[in-house]
Homo-oligomer: A and B are copies of this chain.
Amino acid sequence: MAKFQIDILGCGSATPSLRHQPSCQVIDIRDNLYMIDCGEGAQLQARRMKVKFSRLGHIFISHLHGDHCLGLPGLLSTLALHQTGGSLTVHTFREGIDMFRRIMDFFCRERTYDLRFEVIAPERATVYENDAITVETVPLNHRVPTVGYIFREKPKPRHLNGEMVKFHDIPVSLRQSIKNGADYVTPDGAVIPNARLTTPADPSRSYAYISDTAYYPSIIPAIEGVDLLYHEATYTESSADKAAQRFHSTARQAAMIARDASVGRLLLGHYSKSYLNEDEHLSEAREIFPETIAATEGMKIDLL
């Protein structure tokens, strides 16, 4: 199946620690790269993980807290030194666009690629699409306007059965419509039903990135059934009060969302630096939702 891979460049929270970097992920869908959030040091992490900058076309920012976007000026400046041609689009809130434009015009006026900005809003909307995927926003519940992002592959064509194609000598010009579900009508008028000519399409995979937010079940309809859900788990239940006060989630709450949205797997992240490891996060989440893994820098996850 074509590649749909999540690279974890950073999964720590507010201040970087020696264990975790600030938020940043790269989604690799058929060699097109999409970045979500861009904390300080993202460009260096990208280099460590051998991310091909030249394939990066879009950066989606969840909210305008420094640990989710202060790596942007450095990354955009470095691209201006190395990349020639092409374009890069940053999706963020209006006030962020003004700020990043100002910073870039100050530090990197001469750019060798087309830097574009697209406005997002804290609402459910499709903010990007191409032939292969759509990217949707879903509003979260944090101290400042924040969105989650949902990446979905579009429905794919069915697979032609080569032997049947040969047997009926189906003209090339008709094959695409058959892949899309049409029956085949032979020259003498017989109808061959699609189900005999094709096998089912590969499933359309989906990934949701939910960070930062308090426990917020309102997101469930938007993320229902995604194959992989990244959900922030800044704290564990022993700090549930602190999580609520700061509009963050506990690992248990992340697992409740995963369970109630019937997702495939849950990926925890955005850990507070007050934890020595993520054992407690994992164990309390798995009690609720067994298919849970803990993100860590350098991790690559394939959606199969």
- Give the contact stretch, choosing among A36-44, A84-92, A114-122, A284-292: A36-44
A43 touches B16 (CB 8 A): yes
Among candidates B48, B65, B107, residue contacting A64 with C-beta atoms closer than 8 Å: B107
Residues of B within 8 A of A48 (CB): 18
Among candidates B40, B73, B95, residue contacting A41 with C-beta atoms closer than 8 Å: B40
A66 touches B16 (CB 8 A): no
Q: Please judge, given known A-B contacts A64-B107, A65-B107, whether A15 and B82 are in contact too, CB under 8 Å.
A: yes
Residues of B within 8 A of A71 (CB): 40
Classify the secondary structure of A's interface with B: helix
Residues of B within 8 A of A65 (CB): 107
- Give the contact stretch, choosing among A98-106, A132-140, A151-159, A194-202: A98-106
Among candidates B14, B17, B99, residue contacting A106 with C-beta atoms closer than 8 Å: B99
Question: What mask results when residues 7 to 34 of chain A are scored 1 for a CB within 8 Å of chain B, else 0?
Answer: 0000000111110010000000000000
Residues on A facing B (Cβ under 8 Å): 14-18, 21, 40-41, 43-44, 47-48, 64-66, 70-71, 73-74, 77-78, 81-82, 95, 99, 102-103, 106-108
Known: A40-B44, A66-B108. 18 other contacts (CB 8 A): A15-B78, A16-B44, A16-B47, A16-B78, A17-B47, A40-B40, A40-B43, A41-B41, A64-B107, A65-B107, A66-B73, A66-B77, A70-B73, A70-B74, A95-B106, A99-B103, A102-B102, A103-B103
